[in-house]
Amino acid sequence: MDSRTLLVVLLAAACGVLGWRWLRTGRYRRPDEGAPLPRHLWVAGVAPFVGLVVERGLVDRTWPVLLAPLALALAGLVLAAVDADVHRLPNAITLPLVPVQAVLLTVASATTGDWGAFARAGLAALLVGGGTVLLAFVLFGRSIGMGDAKLMVSIAPTLAWLGWSTLAVGVWLGFVIGGLVAAGLLVTRRAQRSTHLAFGPYLVAGAVLAVALA
């Protein structure tokens, strides 16, 4: 394992511990969500592996290019933990993630000089991210959730910066994974057709796989 890979794994591990400690505070819960708080320990355990997958997928890219996908993947771990507990995606993560990704993608373009990628990311944020938010608003309760849509505003530009094909593969894999999970829950009768399922974590999983294949 070279020095960069080791550093990314250690950074991801540290972020995983911070995410786990935040989850243990239960601050993402609403007053009426008073069930026993899960341990969420798996977040700290999985984070280094996620960091390794992202770093290996972008092994030929510079540090600034690596940061936005890495931040998205690690935030996705925390969102998955919240979703598993309360079945929603909190604004406390999805909203701040948008400017964070914008800054990191700007840094990536500034250091590489690839402003075409930045323009592509902005277009994806507007068309894919904004379109998803509009769809969730118009078809409220009958389509993708608003929390998932807000997350897509971060996912779309991050993947599009790497290429339109990466965006297409990431979104497709996200819906495939989410669909398989939903089908599994229906088959095992742990959910009904009317049950609202947050697809955000599965969209992030698809994004991470797309980065790994990039």
Average pLDDT over residues 168-182: 90
Q: Which residues contact 144 (CB under 8 A, 6 or more apart)?
A: 132, 135, 136, 152, 199
Helix H or strand E encompassing 74: helix 63-86
pLDDT, position 142: 66
Contact 143, 155 (CB under 8 A): no
Confidence at 196, pLDDT banded by 50, 70, 90 = low
Whether the predicted pLDDT of 191 surpasses 80: no
pLDDT, position 82: 92
Strands (E), 5-86: none
Whether the predicted pLDDT of 195 surpasses 80: no
**pTM recorded for the entire structure:** 0.91
Contact 178, 202 (CB under 8 A): yes
